[in-house]
Chain A
Amino acid sequence: MTRNMKRKRFIGSKTSMLVLAVAGSLLFTACSSKSSPDAAEGTNGGGAAAKPVTLKVEVFDRGNSPAGSTITDNYWTKWVNENFGTQSNIDVEYVPVPRSEEVEKLNVLMASGSNVPDIVFTYDPNTFNRYAKQGGLTDLGSLLDEYGPNLKAFLGDDVLNYGKFEGTQFAIPAKRSNTGKYASFIRQDWLDKLGMPVPQTTDELYNTLVAFKEKDPGQIGGQVIPLGMTIASAQYEPLLWSFVKTMTEEQKFTLTQQLGSNDYPILLPGFKDGLQFMNKLYNEGLMNKDFGLDKDKKKLTEDISNGKIGFFTEDDVNIYYENGTYALLQKNVPGSEIAAVDVFTNEEGKHAKPKYASNGLYIMIPKSSERAIEAIKYLDWMASGDNLFQLQNGVENENYTLVEDIPVAAENPTVEATNRMFNSGDMAIISNGKQLGSLEKNLKARAFQMPKAFQEQVAVAQDIANTDTIDLILLDRPIEAQTKYATTLLDKFNEIIVKTTMAKPDQFDSIYESMLKDYMSSGGQAILDERTALYKEMKSK
């Protein structure tokens, strides 16, 4: 009897499975039938001439929308649709992508095929190369000639070249208004107290740092941090690049490793000396012990504004923002003063430091998009007339006033006017920074955005950032190994800095050697080989 019972149960469960399968399939069909009308509507919309077509544009979402607006519905989205939209019979729709995970989210969007916006972009050249290589992008060459004359004139050939993949224009690079990156900063009031001059070279800086540590001019007890370091590029790059030695053209081309949008000096002559210098500073207690944990400069910013740090390097204007690091320092430590200086010196006596490439975002149109022409029209519209100017500066007398043709931020703007500008930079995708026709004007406009009290110092810092900059190496075609290994190698590069800096002086060499070996075998060698081959190819032409 029991056997019989078991058998029956088994049959019962089999039948029930069948019923479930049927129920499940009903559920699925219900879902799919719901989505099909949408698709049909889309094609109909394209066919009917009177109905506006929809252009979908990616937009970075930084989660900073003020009350009353969203990232997809705000002053500027309305402005675009009123000005560009009605005149060209195009309905512009924005697709938000979180800024902090732009590449990850974009990968998912691109892989989905159907939901991908007509205009997408990324800062990561490797992502652009990967898409181009896999054949997922629209060739924009002829489209630009036909529909984008203003855009072409605005960007210029130099910038447009960055968007070429093996000779084909697969991306429209945004134009940078200013390629300066870094300046150094020192506590002037500490120097004054010690009666010391501003250090002019790396050696002088070392002595200053030692004095900061031993004499503690800020009187903050044992907590003084002479050199503020992090594992973000703004802090280690100026130091390390200043140790790079003079090179031949061939060395520059073959030994540089481009990981992401920056060049990295790991194989360049002199790089090891830079690490050795960091190691020395660390072991002598001239640098913060936990710098390897500070990826986002949070701790550094905190320490600067609490008056613990004597010297640091940073993006040229970062500390000057309203209620920013410097303002906080002055509040916390009355009488404190920071001076923008240029200190790290290379063997030629120059203050060599990296700069940005002349392009910013890579703007792309996926191959699956049926709105490539409209997309180019949109970008061309943005580049024509004073559209970009309005988008970047807002409304005259509400957001800015013109002084010698340069927009100056209005004092005491209304809340409405301030709120209006929350996404202006992310809407003006064809440009990084304000474009006013010349570098001088661009820099001035940038300084005028800052609080009045700091504007003079900002000008100094910006000049420093544009002094003795090191050019990025341009490549005729993408290095495949770079596209493939960049993320992994970048992590390893940072790890090398942290581990060699924190090593005991007698272990420095062995740690450096073993980590470099690991770096090379994880893709560094592949990049070196490919770049060497490319160099030979170029020379033989």
Chain B
Amino acid sequence: MSAEEEAILFLPRHPVLIEEATAVSMTNYFRRYWQLYALLVLPLSYFIIFKYGPMYGIQIAFKDFNFFQGINGSEWIGFEAFKEVFGMRDFYITLRNTLMLNFLDLLVSFPAPLILAIMLYEMKMVWFKKLSQTILYIPHFISWVIIGGIVYQVFGTQSGMINNIITSIGFDAVPFLTDKNDWLITYLLVGVWQSAGWGTIIYLAALTGINKELFEAAGIDGAGRLKRIWHITLPGLKPTIVVLLIINLGHMISIGFERPYVIGNLAVREYADVLSTFVYRTGIQSGQYTLATVVGLFQAVVGLVFVLGANYASKKLTDESIL
């Protein structure tokens, strides 16, 4: 194969080819490009096996699932399980907490990587920039279980590092982990610490796409650093911000298991008990898979509504959307 032919392979379909398209050229087309499609087999089968395949099990939500009869052998019960879940007080509390923690997280954790990224971008000393980036990434790779241990050591009321300092200068200890409102702040800040650094990557990538000449031109016109950030950097990041916001909104109703489970404790269960821990408790631990599936299905449906809603709103307001 010559270099030219190879180049053609990776070009989109040539207009001339389409002009002459017939059934025969379709086969030709495939003979020529089959390798590209073959490359898709693996990712597609991933989605079929791990994302679409399990949807078969959703029917458990409408069945009185019996371990030993399997999915097919279990009896249909219609919306019985939904009635049970929607009648549970714990369900509403965990739903409220999930939305509350996610909303506050969006407020606090969403802007953090953006601000960090802009700060890193403005940094002129290359070695210092690289060093701080590395340090900022590290928390992302630490398991939540370990972070939980660190949090306990640092924020504990009686023996935590911070409270040791507070009490040694004569103030009362702050119950960072055992008072629900203080805990909320701890939870949010730990989240920022863990994820903000990693979140900068996507913004930094987007920032490299902004034309440098714009900054120079603005500089000549007398724009200061803040003005440049406001009028060039932020507008340049807008599409990225919107896409990330839509994705985040889609996750509003689902929440990771580890973070609330590990950082939470019995004293603050009022706020720390979320849908994922609720599912773990009623589904996995108590073996009531039907109820767990109901909650999972509910989350999926509401999540879809959120994504579509956010996407629609963003299309109307900013003309940016992902669908």
B157 close to A (CB within 8 Å): yes
Which of A34-42, A57-65, A106-114, A389-397 is the contact stretch?
A106-114
Partner of A113, one of B41, B68, B267: B68
Given contact pairs A136-B67, A488-B282, A491-B281, A498 touches B45 in the complex (Cβ within 8 A): no
Are A487 and B26 in contact, CB atoms less than 8 angstroms apart? no
Are A288 and B158 in contact, CB atoms less than 8 angstroms apart? yes
Count of chain B residues with a beta carbon within 8 Å of a chain A beta carbon: 46
Are A487 and B269 in contact, CB atoms less than 8 angstroms apart? no
Residues of A488-526 contacting chain B, CB below 8 A: 488, 491, 494-495, 497-499, 502, 518, 521-522
On chain A, the residues within 8 Å of B125 by CB distance are none
Partner of B269, one of A20, A104, A491: A491
On chain B, the residues within 8 Å of A135 by CB distance are 66, 68
Compute how far the CA of A242 lies from the CA of B37 in the bound complex, rounded to whole angstroms: 72
Partner of B157, one of A12, A130, A289, A484: A289
Are B68 and A104 in contact, CB atoms less than 8 angstroms apart? no
B24 close to A (CB within 8 Å): no
Q: A396: shortest Cβ distance to chain B, in Å? A: 43
Are B37 and A16 in contact, CB atoms less than 8 angstroms apart? yes
Residues of B258-285 contacting chain A, CB below 8 A: 265-267, 269, 281-282, 284-285
Given contact pairs A134-B66, A135-B68, A15 touches B30 in the complex (Cβ within 8 A): yes
Q: A106: shortest Cβ distance to chain B, in Å? A: 9
Are A8 and B18 in contact, CB atoms less than 8 angstroms apart? yes
A454 close to B (CB within 8 Å): no
Are A1 and B15 in contact, CB atoms less than 8 angstroms apart? yes
- Identity of the chain B residue whose Cβ is nearest the Cβ of A126 in the assembled complex: B286
Are A293 and B67 in contact, CB atoms less than 8 angstroms apart? no
Chain B interface main SS type: helix
A127 close to B (CB within 8 Å): yes
Compute how far the CA of A16 lies from the CA of B36 in the bound complex, rounded to whole angstroms: 11
On chain B, the residues within 8 Å of A1 by CB distance are 15, 18-19
Compute how far the CA of A135 lies from the CA of B68 in the bound complex, rounded to whole angstroms: 7
Compute how far the CA of A508 lies from the CA of B68 in the bound complex, rounded to whole angstroms: 46
Residues of B196-225 contacting chain A, CB below 8 A: none
- Identity of the chain B residue whose Cβ is nearest the Cβ of A288 in the assembled complex: B158
A231 close to B (CB within 8 Å): yes
Are B44 and A24 in contact, CB atoms less than 8 angstroms apart? yes
On chain A, the residues within 8 Å of B266 by CB distance are 231, 292-293, 491, 494-495, 497-499
A203 close to B (CB within 8 Å): no
Count chain A CB atoms within 10 A of each CB in B177, B286, B289 and give the residue with the most: B286
Count chain B CB atoms within 10 A of each CB in A1, A107, A486 and give the residue with the most: A107
On chain A, the residues within 8 Å of B88 by CB distance are 522
Q: A26: shortest Cβ distance to chain B, in Å? A: 10
Are B267 and A292 in contact, CB atoms less than 8 angstroms apart? yes
On chain A, the residues within 8 Å of B286 by CB distance are 126, 484-488
Residues of A250-294 contacting chain B, CB below 8 A: 288-290, 292-293
Are B44 and A293 in contact, CB atoms less than 8 angstroms apart? no
A455 close to B (CB within 8 Å): no
- Kindly count the residue-residue contacts between A and B in the assembled complex, taking CB atoms under 8 Å apart: 123
Compute how far the CA of A31 lies from the CA of B269 in the bound complex, rounded to whole angstroms: 45
Residues of A121-159 contacting chain B, CB below 8 A: 126-127, 130-131, 134-136
- Identity of the chain B residue whose Cβ is nearest the Cβ of A493 in the assembled complex: B266
- Identity of the chain A residue whose Cβ is nearest the Cβ of B66 in the assembled complex: A134
Compute how far the CA of A16 lies from the CA of B286 in the bound complex, rounded to whole angstroms: 45
Are B267 and A498 in contact, CB atoms less than 8 angstroms apart? yes
Given contact pairs A1-B19, A498-B267, A487 touches B68 in the complex (Cβ within 8 A): no
B92 close to A (CB within 8 Å): no
Partner of A289, one of B13, B41, B158: B158
- Identity of the chain A residue whose Cβ is nearest the Cβ of B282 in the assembled complex: A488
A19 close to B (CB within 8 Å): yes
Compute how far the CA of A340 lies from the CA of B157 in the bound complex, rounded to whole angstroms: 30
On chain A, the residues within 8 Å of B281 by CB distance are 487-488, 491
On chain B, the residues within 8 Å of A126 by CB distance are 286
A4 close to B (CB within 8 Å): yes
Are A20 and B178 in contact, CB atoms less than 8 angstroms apart? no
A9 close to B (CB within 8 Å): yes
Compute how far the CA of A1 lies from the CA of B21 in the bound complex, rounded to whole angstroms: 12
A368 close to B (CB within 8 Å): yes
Partner of B267, one of A19, A488, A502: A502
A48 close to B (CB within 8 Å): no
B186 close to A (CB within 8 Å): no
Partner of B41, one of A20, A486, A495: A20
Are A20 and B177 in contact, CB atoms less than 8 angstroms apart? no
Are B45 and A27 in contact, CB atoms less than 8 angstroms apart? yes
On chain B, the residues within 8 Å of A27 by CB distance are 41, 45
On chain B, the residues within 8 Å of A127 by CB distance are 287
B89 close to A (CB within 8 Å): yes
Given contact pairs A23-B41, A24-B48, A8 touches B21 in the complex (Cβ within 8 A): yes
Compute how far the CA of A131 lies from the CA of B67 in the bound complex, rounded to whole angstroms: 8
Are A136 and B40 in contact, CB atoms less than 8 angstroms apart? no
Q: B261: shortest Cβ distance to chain A, in Å? A: 12
A420 close to B (CB within 8 Å): no
Interface mask (B30-48 → A, CB under 8 Å = 1, otherwise 0): 1000100110110011001
What are 12 contact pairs spanning A and B, CB under 8 A? A8-B18, A103-B285, A107-B67, A289-B173, A290-B156, A293-B178, A293-B267, A484-B286, A487-B282, A488-B281, A522-B88, A522-B89
Residues of B within 8 A of A (CB): 13, 15, 18-19, 21, 26, 29-30, 34, 37-38, 40-41, 44-45, 48, 66-70, 88-90, 152, 156-159, 167, 173, 175, 177-178, 265-267, 269, 281-282, 284-289
Listed from nearest, the 9 A-B pairs whose CB atoms lie closest are A136-B68, A292-B267, A498-B266, A289-B158, A289-B157, A487-B286, A487-B285, A134-B66, A495-B266
